[in-house]
Structure 1
Amino acid sequence: MINLYVTEPGVLRRAPAGSPIGETVVWIDMVDPSMEELQRVDQALGVDIPTKEEMREIEASSRLYEEDGALYMTATVLSSVETGSPVASAITFVLTHGRLITVRHTDPLPFRAFATHVDRHPGAVTGAEGVLFGLLEAIVDRLADVLELVGAEIDQVSQTVFEAGQRTRGITPGNGGKAGKTGKSNQRPPAPDYEALIAAIGRMGDLTSKIRESLVSIGRLAGFAGRNLRGRASKTGLAAMKTITRDVVSLSDHASYLANKLSFMLDATLGLIQIEQNGIIKIFSVVAVVFLPPTLIASIYGMNFEVMPELSWHLGYPLALLMMVGSAVLPYWLFKRRGWL
């Protein structure tokens, strides 16, 4: 599909579907174009539009270059965040002879938002450079919004993780870090769903990595465009490009901070899981130690020897039971006294 935007004196508007690519066309937005549509633009403008496979190449020389007076700029843009399955897809911007061509095989929210902005405010953006700067600003703004959402979700998961850590140590949140007394009124709450926590941390980590990838590519694109448009773009446009570059740098730093925080939370969650496992193993160890002496006594008096004086003694059975109970209580009392339970 091809969307055409034409310029009139001080106005940028969407052309009707099926309109020819005339002299007044400023922005050609190609969404998942077919071979026929690629050939149509190539014949009309004499521009070699990169294919989907060529857009996937990651080396800088294949993403940012100038050919026959046209600037070819490919960036990785985040999309489909609202669906819960974010995707980082390549989008190509071709700036040639006062026209901007965008080639994309996805439908990111910034493009829809910018198109809506152009429809509502036709005079807000004019010229191919203005469209390019507007799209980049919309993409960066969207990445900032997603980072804010990720940061808020990280705070929620962080609170859950560290409250779980307090419960694991028997500390009641809000009591100054002191362990609560054991009793019916202060029973330990059930452990959180660690599997869900790890899944949430992994999902946020994947989204953060895609955001960082998009920011890095947008930053490279902005730097390349700023260098090559110096002397051609207006002062307002160059100032907007500098603002975009500064925003990308600050957002990249914030994304790195969130990535480090996610790594710390993952380590903390795995540590809590290990503590829970150690607690379970400790219970089995105590049970084994408590029942080992009674088992030994029962084994001794269960041997089938003919000469065992205690077997004919009328107090032998109660004494054996008393020894078994005492040998079980003694290790338990010792563990409690040393604070191992």
Structure 2
Amino acid sequence: MIKAYVVDGDRLRMVDDLEHHKAAVVWADLLSPTREEEIAIEQMLGVSVPTREEMEEIEISSRLYTEDGAIFMTATLPAQTDGEHPLMSPVTFVLAGNRLVTVRYHEPRAFLTFPMRAEKSAMGCTTGEAILINLLEAIVDRLADVLERIGHDIDGISRSIFQPSSDKPSKRDRDFRKVFQTIGRKEELTSSIRESLMTLQRLSGFLGNVMMQSKNKDLRARTKTLSRDVASLTDHASFLSNKIVFLLDATLGMVNIEQSAIIKIFSVAAVIFLPPTVVASIYGMNFDIMPELKWSFGYPFALFLMVLSAVLPYLYFKRRGWL
């Protein structure tokens, strides 16, 4: 699928017939292109469109390079970030003269929101360079929103760990299982965003060197700002990742505390009921001569002695603060 855009004043306008508007197209967005569509774009630009296998190469030399006068830049971008399992896939940006071509195989949110904004408002998208900078800014803004949401979610997880909603151990155990699952999903999402920001950081540095040859001072300044924003978001993503690790350790610590409290209860109960067991064992012995056997108050006395031997350790533990 090819989405072709032409300049309409200071706005972008999508056209249906690529062949008819071939000379005026400034941005061609290829979504899961067929081989015929790749050939059409290659004929229009005079450069080869990278295949999906080439886009997935992790070497920097395979992602950031110049060929036949065109500039190729590939970054890994997330899609479906509103859920807990984002889809990560590479997106290639090709600057060929005054035109921009993007090649992708998934739907990052910025590729839906940016064209709508560029069609409704004047954003200065009259050249391929300007479209690229605006598109990258939209991508970075989207990643910033995702990190902001992750931060709010992490704060909620922190409250659920250190301020449990229930005093019942069984309910807290179920809550901790949910917390572990939530932490795992947030770590997966944060790691994906960090991976994307790292590729964008390399891309913005490469683009900054390319834009030094541009005569447009505004675009050069925006490229530097973009690079700083990506670096700042990368640091923030690292901070969130460290906080998630801390919450994971804290959750494990809380689980250990809960288990220790349960073991302590059993240990104290064993100590409390040990003296009554000794008393009952003594009076359960089968000797012929036992003074209390024929005593009318022997049975109540034995019960009283067992209760007393259980209450005294309990009161002692309570006074020492062990319970």
TM-score, length of structure 1 as denominator length = 0.85
Q: Give CA deviations for 1:175-207 in whole Å, capped at 9, x if unaligned.
A: xxxxxxxxxxxx99x748222222222222222
Structure 1 CA distance, aligned partners of 2:155 and 2:109?
Answer: 25
Q: 1:330 aligns with which of 312, 316, 320?
A: 312
| Residue 162 of structure 2 is aligned to residue 162 of structure 1 | yes
**1:81 alignment counterpart:** 81
Structure 2 CA distance, aligned partners of 1:58 and 1:237?
Answer: 28
**1:113 alignment counterpart:** 113
Q: 1:208 aligns with which of 190, 193, 200?
A: 190
Structure 1 CA distance, aligned partners of 2:206 and 2:18?
Answer: 33
Q: 1:268 aligns with which of 228, 250, 262?
A: 250
Q: Offset of 1:56 from its aligned partner?
A: 1.9
Aligned-partner SS, 2:163? helix
**2:71 alignment counterpart:** 71
Deviates more, 1:299-308 or 1:251-260: 299-308
Contact 2:124–2:130 (CA<8 Å) still a contact in 1? no
- 1:87-102 equivalences under 5 Å are 87-102=87-102
Look up the equivalent residue of 1:311 and give its one-letter code. Answer: L
Runs ≥4 residues deviating over 3 A: 7-12, 17-21, 303-316
C-alpha RMSD of the superposition: 2.5
Look up the equivalent residue of 1:130 and give its one-letter code. Answer: A
Structure 2 CA distance, aligned partners of 1:20 and 1:320?
Answer: 106
Structure 1 CA distance, aligned partners of 2:201 and 2:151?
Answer: 21
Q: Give CA deviations for 1:286-315 in whole Å, capped at 9, x if unaligned.
A: 222111222232233323445555434444
Contact 1:13–1:122 (CA<8 Å) still a contact in 2? no
Contact 2:85–2:185 (CA<8 Å) still a contact in 1? no
**2:259 alignment counterpart:** 277
Q: Give CA deviations for 1:239-294 in whole Å, capped at 9, x if unaligned.
A: 11001011111222222222222222222222222222222222222222111222
Contact 1:79–1:107 (CA<8 Å) still a contact in 2? yes
- 1:283-322 equivalences under 5 Å are 283-306=265-288, 308-322=290-304
Structure 1 CA distance, aligned partners of 2:281 and 2:38?
Answer: 87
**2:61 alignment counterpart:** 61
Aligned length: 321
**2:181 alignment counterpart:** 199
Change (3 A) 1:233 1:153: farther
Look up the equivalent residue of 1:28 and give its one-letter code. Answer: A
- 1:94-243 equivalences under 5 Å are 94-121=94-121, 124-164=124-164, 191=172, 193-232=175-214, 234-243=216-225
Change (3 A) 1:82 1:233: farther
**1:12 alignment counterpart:** 12
Identity %: 51
Q: Give CA deviations for 1:69-99 in whole Å, capped at 9, x if unaligned.
A: 2211110112212244322321111112222
Look up the equivalent residue of 1:263 and give its one-letter code. Answer: V
TM-score, length of structure 2 as denominator length = 0.89
Contact 1:4–1:19 (CA<8 Å) still a contact in 2? no
Aligned-partner SS, 1:27? strand
Structure 2 CA distance, aligned partners of 1:21 and 1:335?
Answer: 87
Deviates more, 1:32-41 or 1:22-31: 32-41
**1:37 alignment counterpart:** 37
Contact 1:201–1:262 (CA<8 Å) still a contact in 2? yes
Structure 2: tracts of 5 or more residues without a match: none
Look up the equivalent residue of 1:106 and give its one-letter code. Answer: H
Structure 2 CA distance, aligned partners of 1:273 and 1:321?
Answer: 39
Look up the equivalent residue of 2:270 and give its one-letter code. Answer: A
Q: Offset of 1:20 from its aligned partner?
A: 4.7
Structure 1 CA distance, aligned partners of 2:247 and 2:163?
Answer: 12
Q: Offset of 1:17 from its aligned partner?
A: 4.5
Structure 1 CA distance, aligned partners of 2:215 and 2:286?
Answer: 103
Look up the equivalent residue of 1:318 and give its one-letter code. Answer: P
